[in-house]
Structure 1
């Protein structure tokens, strides 16, 4: 639910931006690009919006090769929008990723997706496209293994049973002698169970969970920040919903100092959870939010909901940053490396 809401918000911002620059009839094509890290062909928990990907809008050119009518790059949130003058019919046109970035740009171009007319009003025609996926050469190590297909076994023919020999006549059958009542049936001797030694599974790497005050101590733990920095803005880290609530200038360093308001408390705990998710290795288990995408989804879901949801998500982030979690008996430690 939160993933679809995030996509709808980004597409709405792209449409409003295109509509603001429209003075006459025009056509807008909008969509998003994601990095399909597990190569399963669908959006999943480990997929993230892809920045800087090159998207081509193609229409039939009368031959086997489609004609590229427009190209554009995705923004920081993985979204793209193309505006064209006039209102041509584009129901038979497609959009595809022709060049991606990072480890998702090493594979071949993605398959094209057809455009769909969303609405046509006031001289503006909006076409949308399902999320485009760009895949790496190989699936990431932290992706779940696909279910293996059962091996094709050779069809075994049913053994042919020979017909039973005919029974002798009744007067030649021997009478069945039953044992006496007082005689106990012999107890069968069961074979002794074979003792097998089982090798314990290898220990999984343990995760880490640290509270916001540990991350705010930049002199002692500032070297442990990954991907983002203390000067990264909240809008860049969490998306448009956070930018609307907290502004476009607030940094993550300032976010860790928030208190006295339920929305500032939510931002403080969500920032600490985001840093914990970046710090933990992909294979490390235990932390309540295994990926940064799950932290961003819960954060945006709370901002777009009620005040009660804000309180619940803030408490859930705080419990995860303290080392707790669902079904956990012992708390996760905070194993940040001292920078001094």
Structure 2
């Protein structure tokens, strides 16, 4: 596709977004972690869990429930709950309502307090709320968890009472002995100090070997067409071309695109706004694994895909355009692919 055709396609997408009817939505996002140490807080040992049901509840001044929605966490432990009409969710909260499929991983006990919603931004009549991490716990804590900072004091061993001392007969005073002057021994003269001969200088250290190249530290952004070429197949990491879209992006993507579509098929989507979103979303997902300097991280790509699929057609187009701009490198970052050996 030539540059003029690309500009025309982008202009059509922006025009379609502009004429699309307004639809106010409010979305709540967050993550559920498995609290392996059962200490009620996040630590290095905790990890996100999937299949957990999270409920977002809103109450009035009398404590009566006015709204309630429930969703299940995806493969990366994230959840996204949608409310139509952009209601005010400032007084609402989220909490783990059911362990669901997480019992298979051994982390099945809801724990921790409910978390209040925080308004992140308002944009095009859309509201985005976020919450602090929610926790679920296993039946027993992990064996190698750090010990508590307030350990239980060791039990005090009682000391037996002291026994009375035996009575000893007095000893008569000793007779005085004659004083004898001490004899000072003769001190031998000091021996001459022994000196070692000078040591030869040490040889210089060999130069350290150069570090191996780390291509994932370099800035790189590659379009969808590059990811479909066989000579660049070695750049696929963590996933392969036959991985299912539903496995990577979760239940929302499965409802829209089905459970049989692969990532390679998604990269060849054209024409339809939802297929365009999927093509650019999969491309951003692969670029995030290939370069740490890519504008989106892996979890961020999945979250933006979920938000777009829960929103209007305009949000689908805008998210697809943002992914496309990141995959093009913003005009300053090139694709660093070289043919695989």
TM-score (normalizing by structure 1): 0.43
**TM-score, length of structure 2 as denominator length:** 0.43
